[in-house]
Amino acid sequence: MNDQIPTGSIDEVTVAAEAARFIERGVVPHVIGGKEVDSLDGRTREMVNPSTGRAFGSVARGGADDLDAAVSAARAAYEDGRWRRLTPRAQEAILIRLAGLLEEHAEIIGDLDALDAGILRRYAGFIANYSANALRYFAGWPTKLAGSLPPVGPDYVVQERIEPVGVMGVIKPWNGPGAIFAQVAPALAAGNSVVLKPAEHTPLSATYMARLALEAGVPEGVFNVVHGDGEVGAAMVAHPGINRISFTGSVRTGQALAAAAAQTFKRVNLELGGKSPVLVFADADLEAAAAAAAGSVWNNSGQVCTAGTRTLVHADIYDDFLEAAIAASTDLRVGHAFDEATTMGPLITPDQRAKVERYVEIGQQEGASVVWRGSVGDAEGGNYVAPVIFAGVRNDMTIAREEIFGPVMSVLRFTDEAEAYRLANETEFGLAAGVFTRDIARANRAADALDVGTVWTNCYQVTDAAVSYGGAKASGYGRSLGAPALDEYTRRKSVWSKNY
């Protein structure tokens, strides 16, 4: 906590006074048409701190009516052009101002994400900056979204225009709540209005950021937030006033959502789960590879889509790798998200913890061996799980096939390059992969062979708003971030004019 900021207290931890006031004012509201409002039927939901298991406040629990009100506000804002008809320069200035406000309030946003998502307090500030970076990057696009004039001969002039799609529905999961601008920034940069539904467990930072958006000058009704569970998400998918959906979440929900969206002909983009392989060849920098592979699984307690949960290691270095991975993990300290000594926070809910523990049992039953298990120490009350490294894992085992979303690392063995690629691709997922080798030609072959949306060579989980990101196979389709993301938030129109 920055010493300059006045502090308050929520659930026995010190937070910025503004974060405390935000929660204590009563029910955390929706933001609809620029107004902070309760649910029409007054329903609320308790917010629970994953670090303590205690309820610490409540949030509006929306339903189809609240969603409908948000869509009306968003449509009205879109139709009258209060945002999309601003000059590109004015849009750019507002998005940049918003990025600055997020950076200025990163401490508060960090508090909010740590409280309801259990994200490490230190890491949570990073997420606010991630959103700010996305805004800064996409702020440059309104001035550059130029269409084209395809040459069709002397009789016609054709404008190929790039237009907003209208009202974008954005549905987000709980594992990085402050990262909403990865989707919302390109949607706004393209001139759309947005209705955002954060995950039901993690509502805080979305409402707070929507407030900052208004302060930055995003006109009322252009960015709306409706809280609620899958009922609101499903209503969004069915609503005729929503033009497209951007969804980040589980495979099962994504699949159902895409099927439902077909009923109203909505295009969707899906950022789903992963079971990402990290390939470690015999010539790799072993320590660096082990630290990156293990770190990717411990990051956010394993609740990250790109977690490198299948580490594929060449047989010649298998034992040394395990030793290095364990050495890179023994200092992990599981605990309260606000405790400065903590390096691994809680999981989101007791259900998620139980699910992860079940996978640890199944892994052992199916013959994998636990070569290292951390401890939860004296952490209690929250959804704490001790991290695990499994060795002797085979690709057909449940722990190698299913996304666990917890701190469980599985180490598999391969003997040659072809086998490494076969094992890496032998999964329903295709989100990302890591490759550790000093052989540039092999790195290039690997990048070619891997059936995934992102390959990291001699690094892992590096991101930049300028670089697109997305999955293959069951990990979804469509790209977020970078120039390709704009395609998800725009449509084309060809206009033919005859020359007399």
Q: Which residues bind ligand ADP (CB under 6 A)?
A: 171-173, 197, 199-200, 229-230, 233-234, 237, 249-250, 253, 256-257
Contacts of 50 (CB under 8 A, 6+ apart): 116, 117, 118, 337, 345, 346, 347, 348, 349, 382, 383
Work out how close the CB of 256 gets to ligand ADP at its nearest, in angstroms, rounded to a whole number: 5
d(CA 152, CA 150) in angstroms, rounded, equals: 6
d(CA 70, CA 76) in angstroms, rounded, equals: 10
For 404, the token pair is 């666990």
Give the phi and the psi of residue 312 in degrees, each rounded to 5: -105, 120
Q: Helix axis angle, 106-117 relative to 121-139, nearest 10°?
A: 120
Contact 279, 424 (CB under 8 A): yes
d(CA 327, CA 399) in angstroms, rounded, equals: 22
Q: Which is nearer to ligand ADP, 172 or 310 (CB)?
A: 172
Give Rg (Cα) of the chain.
Answer: 23
* Whether 271 is catalytic: yes
Question: Cα 464 from chain centroid?
Answer: 13
Work out how close the CB of 229 gets to ligand ADP at its nearest, in angstroms, rounded to a whole number: 5
Q: Which is nearer to ligand ADP, 75 or 172 (CB)?
A: 172
Work out how close the CB of 173 gets to ligand ADP at its nearest, in angstroms, rounded to a whole number: 4
Closest Cα partner for 179 from 340, 349, 268, 304?
304
Work out how close the CB of 469 gets to ligand ADP at its nearest, in angstroms, rounded to a whole number: 17
Q: What is the dihedral of CA 415, 418, 421, 422, to 10 degrees?
A: -90
Tokens 């309104």 -> residue: 142
Closest Cα partner for 41 from 72, 62, 58?
62
Q: Which is nearer to ligand ADP, 29 or 173 (CB)?
A: 173
Q: Which is nearer to ligand ADP, 191 or 228 (CB)?
A: 228
Work out how close the CB of 140 gets to ligand ADP at its nearest, in angstroms, rounded to a whole number: 29
d(CA 302, CA 180) in angstroms, rounded, equals: 19
Contact 272, 475 (CB under 8 A): yes
Q: Which is nearer to ligand ADP, 125 or 203 (CB)?
A: 203
Contacts of 348 (CB under 8 A, 6+ apart): 50, 117, 118, 174, 175, 201, 202, 303, 383
Work out how close the CB of 420 gets to ligand ADP at its nearest, in angstroms, rounded to a whole number: 30
- What's the length of the chain? 500
Work out how close the CB of 273 gets to ligand ADP at its nearest, in angstroms, rounded to a whole number: 8
Nearest residue to ligand ADP, scored by beta-carbon proximity: 233
User: In the sheet that 388-391 helps form, which strands lie side by side, from edge to edge?
Assistant: 369-373, 388-391, 408-414, 310-314, 277-280, 432-436, 454-457
H/E stretch holding 211: helix 204-216
Work out how close the CB of 237 gets to ligand ADP at its nearest, in angstroms, rounded to a whole number: 6
Work out how close the CB of 442 gets to ligand ADP at its nearest, in angstroms, rounded to a whole number: 35
Contact 141, 488 (CB under 8 A): no
Per DSSP, 243 falls in state -
d(CA 145, CA 142) in angstroms, rounded, equals: 6
Q: Residues 146, 149, 150, CA angle at the centre, nearest 5°?
A: 125
Work out how close the CB of 304 gets to ligand ADP at its nearest, in angstroms, rounded to a whole number: 12
Q: Cβ–Cβ contacts within 10 Å for residue 144, how many?
A: 11
Catalytic (active-site) positions = 271
